[in-house]
Structure 1
Amino acid sequence: MTLPKFLLADNSKFPEDIFVLHTEFPRFLINLKDDEVEWFEDLTGESEEDIATELADLMDKAGAFYDDEMKEFD
């Protein structure tokens, strides 16, 4: 099965939160409400600078993905 790079996720126990799941390496879940990130990968040994740069880029892409998805509902 081919997975999309990003998936929207929500949970009725967190009605104010908006989650985007990144399915490729490095896999993570971001809460767009507060930009909190939960990593599903062990990034030990990775360059902190590379991680910070990649995270910033992926967070921007996650936000753009969400915006594009919401345009589909309008």
Structure 2
Amino acid sequence: MKLPKFLLADNSQQPEDIFVLHTEYPRFIINLKDDEIEWFEDLSGENEQELANEMERLVEEAGSFYDKEMEGYE
């Protein structure tokens, strides 16, 4: 099965939070309410500047993904 790059996730215990799951390396889940990120990978040893640049891009992509998904509900 080929997973999409991003998935929306929610949790009835945290109804105000909006989660986007990134399924490719580096895998993570981001809470768009406060931009808190939980990593599913061990990123020790990675180039910190390269990782920071990649994360900035991926967070922007996650936000764009969410916006496009919400447009479909309007």
TM-score (norm 2): 0.99
Question: Partners of 1:11 and 1:39 in 2: how far apart?
Answer: 18
| Paired position in structure 1 for 2:2 | 2
Structure 2 distance, partners of 1:67, 1:34, is 16
How many pairs align? Answer: 74
SS in 2 for 1:73: coil
- 5 Å-filtered alignment, 1:11-50, equals 11-50=11-50
Report the secondary structure of 1:29's partner residue. Answer: strand
Separation in structure 2 between the aligned mates of residue 71 and residue 39 of structure 1, nearest angstrom: 28
Percent of residue pairs identical = 68
In the TM superposition, residue 6 of structure 1 has moved relative to its aligned partner by 0.1
After the TM superposition, which segments of 4 or more aligned residues of structure 1 sit over 2 Å from their partners? none
Q: Distance in 2 between matches of 1:2 and 1:51?
A: 25
| RMSD (Å) for aligned C-alpha atoms | 0.3
1:39-74 C-alpha deviation (Å, 9 max, x unpaired): 000001001101100000000000000000000001
Partner Cα distance (2:55, 2:14) in 1: 24
Unaligned runs of 5+ in 1: none
- Cα distance in 2 for residues equivalent to 1:70 and 1:15: 16
Q: Which runs of 5+ in 2 are unaligned?
A: none
